[in-house]
Amino acid sequence: MGSHSSIIAGSYHGEVMRGSPLKVDARARLRIEVKGIVQGVGFRPFVYRLARNCHLNGWVRNTSANVAIEVEGLEENLSQFLSLLKEKAPHAARVQDVTTRKLPVEDDVDFVIRKSQPEAGKYQPVSPDLANLPLDDIDILFIENVGNLICPGGFDLGEYLKVVILSTPEGDDKPHKYPLLFSQANALVVNKTDLLPHVGFDMEAFARVFQGLNQQAALFKVAGITGDGIEDWGKWVMANLQKLRTQNSTR
């Protein structure tokens, strides 16, 4: 039998860990919560790769308060995972606090990234990179969330307008799957309309469902290659910029 290092249940801040050693079997499961600047910096993919490299199963997801992780596997692998979690974190991340507690083993067979979980009244700090932007010289700042139609609806980023951009090859069923985001949007841009003859996207049915969810939002049909609809979309953006300037000038 080789020697086993202890898994700590408790928390550590910076480099200092506190808590009492847990007596665990050969396999154990931990709940880990990571606070700091750990969203929007590639932290979940990092955790995914680290867990796989440490031969651990479980999951990771963002919440409004932190990054939540559950991992299970051999005790020595869990110890290695905890050590590397802060030591090898993405460059833009700032890990401020890590708490752990022991859970019953659930015999997960893989490690996955779960969908984000909003929590009312809790928020994430913004990366300090934003402070380096010349905000006084910027008229329009686009905060882009690629490939995810859940998080933008569940998290308030303090944006002035919320725009959904959808391409026709993705399918016309998205308002059914993600009604929250489509109901919140100030505008919807359907891109790649030049591909309509080649994909099964029913624009008429799509527009009917979307407008049933949201009667106030503008709908733009554009084609990036041909430029169709881009001018109308740009005019809408600039009109809203002027509207915001007028509002700010009267305060």
Q: What is the DSSP string of 196-231?
A: GGGS---HHHHHHHHHHH-SSSEEEE--TTT-TTHH
User: 105 with 32, same domain?
Assistant: yes
Is 44 designated active site? yes
The predicted-structure confidence for 205-227, as pLDDT tens digits, reads as follows 999 999 999 999 999 999 988 88
- Report, as an integer, the average pLDDT of 20-38: 78
What does the pLDDT read at residue 153?
73
User: 232 with 189, same domain?
Assistant: yes
- Report, as an integer, the average pLDDT of 70-86: 95
User: Side by side, which strands form the sheet with 67-74?
Assistant: 16-22, 7-13, 94-103, 27-37, 67-74, 57-62, 111-113
User: 165 with 59, same domain?
Assistant: no
**Alpha helices, H only, the chain:** 43-53, 75-87, 151-154, 174-177, 179-184, 203-213, 230-249
Listed residues 113, 143, 175: the one ending a domain: 113
Is 101 designated active site? no
What does the pLDDT read at residue 226?
86
For residue 12, pLDDT beyond 80: no
Does 126 map to a domain? no
For residue 39, pLDDT beyond 90: no
Does 121 map to a domain? no
| Active-site residue (options: 44, 57, 66, 77) | 44
Does 125 map to a domain? no
Any idea how long the chain is?
251
User: 18 with 64, same domain?
Assistant: yes
For residue 100, pLDDT beyond 60: yes
CA distance 19 to 11: 7
- Report, as an integer, the average pLDDT of 6-35: 61
- What residues have CB less than 8 Å from 23, skipping those under 6 apart? none
Listed residues 66, 81, 113: the one ending a domain: 113
Torsion of CA 234, 183, 161, 128, to 10 degrees: -120
Does 120 map to a domain? no
User: 140 with 245, same domain?
Assistant: yes
User: 162 with 69, same domain?
Assistant: no
For residue 137, pLDDT beyond 50: yes
What does the pLDDT read at residue 98?
94
Please, what is the average pLDDT of the chain? 84
User: 141 with 224, same domain?
Assistant: yes
User: 175 with 215, same domain?
Assistant: yes
User: 109 with 142, same domain?
Assistant: no
**CATH number for the domain that contains residue 202:** 3.40.50.300
Does 68 map to a domain? yes
User: 141 with 103, same domain?
Assistant: no
For residue 230, pLDDT beyond 60: yes
Does 238 map to a domain? yes
- The answer to whether the predicted template modeling score (pTM) of the entire model surpasses 0.75 is no
Domains contained in the chain, number: 2
What does the pLDDT read at residue 17?
44
- Report, as an integer, the average pLDDT of 15-39: 71
Lowest mean pLDDT among 4-13, 63-72, 196-205, 218-227: 4-13
**CATH number for the domain that contains residue 47:** 3.30.70.100
For residue 128, pLDDT beyond 70: no
Pair 223, 197: CB distance under 8 Å: no
What does the pLDDT read at residue 1?
43
The predicted-structure confidence for 148-183, as pLDDT tens digits, reads as follows 677 777 777 778 899 999 999 999 999 998 899 999
Does 16 map to a domain? yes
User: 79 with 155, same domain?
Assistant: no
Q: Look-up: residue for tokens 């154990």?
A: 28
Q: Is 12 exposed, middle or buried (0-12, 13-18, 19+ CB in 10 A)?
A: middle
Q: Is 58 exposed, middle or buried (0-12, 13-18, 19+ CB in 10 A)?
A: buried
- The whole domain housing 166 covers 133-249
For residue 24, pLDDT beyond 50: no
| Active-site residue (options: 18, 49, 61, 62) | 62
- What does the angle CA 33 – CA 51 – CA 5 come to, to the nearest 5 degrees? 80
Listed residues 47, 82, 113: the one ending a domain: 113
Please tell me which residue, 44 or 134, carries the higher pLDDT value: 44
CA distance 228 to 221: 8
User: 162 with 228, same domain?
Assistant: yes
